[in-house]
Structure 1
Amino acid sequence: MRSPPQVPAVDWRPTDADTAALSLPDDRRLAYATYGDPDGDPVLFCHGTPGSHVVARLLDTPARERGVRLIAPDRPGIGGSTDAPVGLDDWPADAAALLSHLGVESAAAVGFSGGGPFALACHRLPEIERIALVGSSGPPEIGSTGRVQQFVGTLSRHAPWALGRLFRLQRWVALRRGPSYAVDFVADETPETDALSADEVARIVRADMLTAMARGPSAVVREQRLLSEPWPFDLADVSVPVAVYQGRDDANVSPSTGRALADRLPRASLELVDADHLGTLTAAGDDALAAVRRRTRV
């Protein structure tokens, strides 16, 4: 039987981000990128799952216009960061090391999709004063994730090897297909922004997917399992203000998740957006940055 022709992989690496890395106390490498205003108010951006620092590129222009320095790390095993079994309760230590490395004493956090729980976990850090959640996953007791997320969560717990093979296949196909293939996982149609065309958004989303699994799918599988298990903190203990943005047409995270998060967080606001999952980030990302930015500059 003749083998199918080999399709050359397309170069996907983003060239517009100032990527860097620091060495953590246990000698792990933590990679990160910065966007927006380099002298602006620092905001820690927690990418989705699967995802990477690349998706924060979608907020580069609004961050610059808002006077926000958007700091987007790759969590362990993602992109250029060393893999390690870091859970929700461990992530704040990595985040604190990054903020200290950058000389940041006070900041906010924004979490998109599966990054929402990681942003909320940082409420324990004295540096984090405000949080915004955009299309965020919720704890399993809310029980309102989409069917696809429920399927992925089940596989991560009971057949992680199968989920790893699925992610490897997705990445293999994404390398050989156009950007619209990656967009199909997070949106009904490719959104555009004031600064980015639909084609540019699609290229960023594709690069985000490929960067997420540049070191293989093990970290993504681990995070999917973490998000389907009980969280190591109670929403009622999150004392900082939290702005919740949830898409009414989000097929990845049920709209009821956003409502439940806003109901259970002590100091939360809720804004519903007429958008799907990715569209919630492009439509409400500017509002999220405005909500967490310091009211006065010092």
Structure 2
Amino acid sequence: MVRRAPVTPLRENLPPSILILPDGRKLAYHEYGDPAGSVVVNCHGGLVSGIDIEYSDEPARALGVRIISPDRPGIGGSSRWPGHRMLDWASTDLDVLLAHLGVERFRVIGWSEGGQYALAAAHAHAGRVDRVAIVAGALPLAEPAHPERLAELNANDRRLIALARRVPIVARAYFLGSRWLSVLSPPILARLASIGLGPSDVSLITTYSNWFARAMAESVADTRGSVDDYLAFGAPWGFAPEAVGARVEVFQGDADRVIRVEWSRILVERLPEARLHEFRNEGHFVALTRRAEILQYLTTVSDPV
């Protein structure tokens, strides 16, 4: 049975805060949970924005957690950074944001594409990150030792990486169409996005079609930024999973058709200190169904009962 989150988030449609970076670019970020709580940095997924974690607002308040969720370059209210890679973002933009907010120690969560950004944050800020939660995250896609990895990625993301590299104008047309659909008909967008997904994900994406449409609309607000994001997704990480020193909790549905369950198992084997939480008959949207549980594992000193 699929778990349900309340359909109306507590902080829907609040505008993000804007930080002007040293080079003049804008960094947009959202905050959820307890403003005085321990800090969790959220790294949003692909084709969504920093509002992808807004349904965690209520459990974060209950756990005394402050969630800081920045939009990556070219996404939502954040300015583009052409040619950036994820380790660039973790070492510079995120560092400036943390200094601005007076954050010294923190924990990190990343869903889907955001999982690799969460690991990059832990690597770039070694000694400051206490724990990491990866929710249905990908393996490195550009490792010479694993040339097959990109071919194992789901068809839609694989196609968008190829278009971003070879014919970005076509990728931008796809993103533009998604933006129009997100505004004109969230239910149709949800139905199209559900093609190829498992039953639990189809149900969830349909139920939360308005949230999904808003998050996608922000992700493709600047179609050039969407291309940048996919180029970074398919680029080398700049570090190996074996180099991440923080403890990592990996959450994965065994019915996920976006990120294959085998990838999470391999990731856990490669990380120095990691544990896999695998959920039967659940898909890619375990970020919604298990949001309170994930936060609890991420933020408690001892494992929750």
Aligned to 1:89: 87
- Runs (4+) of structure 1 moved beyond 4 Å? none
Maintained 8 Å contact 1:182/1:209: no
CA distance in 1, matches of 2:61, 2:209: 21
Q: Is the 8 A contact 2:12 2:54 kept in 1?
A: no
Alignment of 1:43-82 (within 5 A): 43-82=40-79
Equivalent positions of 1:94-113 (< 5 A) are 94-113=93-112
- Hey, what's the Cα distance between the residues in 1 that align with 2:100 and 2:129? 15
2:301 to 292, 295, 298: 295
Partner of 1:133: 134
User: Counterpart in 1 of 2:214?
Assistant: 207
Q: Shift in Å at residue 286 of structure 1? A: 1.9
- Alignment match, 2:233: 227
TM-score by length of 2: 0.84
* Identity percentage of aligned residues: 32
Cα distance in 2 for residues equivalent to 1:16 and 1:161: 30
Once residues 21 and 45 of structure 2 are traced to their aligned partners in structure 1, the CA distance between those partners, rounded to angstroms, is 22
- Equivalent residue for 2:267? 261
TM-superposed deviation, 1:18: 5.6
Instruction: Give the aligned residue type for 1:145.
Output: L
1:19 Cα deviation (Å)?
Answer: 2.1
Q: CA deviation at 1:73?
A: 0.5
- The normalised TM-score by structure 1 is 0.86
Q: Deviations over 1:33-73 (max 9, x none)?
A: 10111111100001111111111112111211221111011
How far apart are 1:251 and its partner, in Å?
A: 1.4
Deviations for 1:104-132, whole angstroms, at most 9, x for unmatched residues?
11100100111111111111214322111
- Unmatched tracts of structure 1, length 5 or more: 1-13, 193-197
Gaps of 5+ in 2: 1-10
Q: Which residue is 1:7 aligned to?
A: none
RMSD of equivalent CA atoms: 2.0
CA distance in 2 between partners of 1:239 and 1:229 (Å):
22
Match of 1:36 among 5, 9, 33: 33
Give how far 1:189 is off. Answer: 2.1
Tell me: CA distance 1:184–1:137, structure 2 relative to 1, closer, same or farther (3 Å): farther
The question of whether the paired residues in 2 share the 8 Å contact of 1:41 and 1:294 is answered with no
The alignment of Structure 1 onto Structure 2 pairs a total of residues equal to 275
| Aligned-residue offset at 1:15 | 4.5
Paired AA for residue 242 in structure 1: V
- Residues 5-31 of structure 1 show CA distances to partners (whole Å, capped at 9, x for unaligned) of xxxxxxxxx844362111112121111
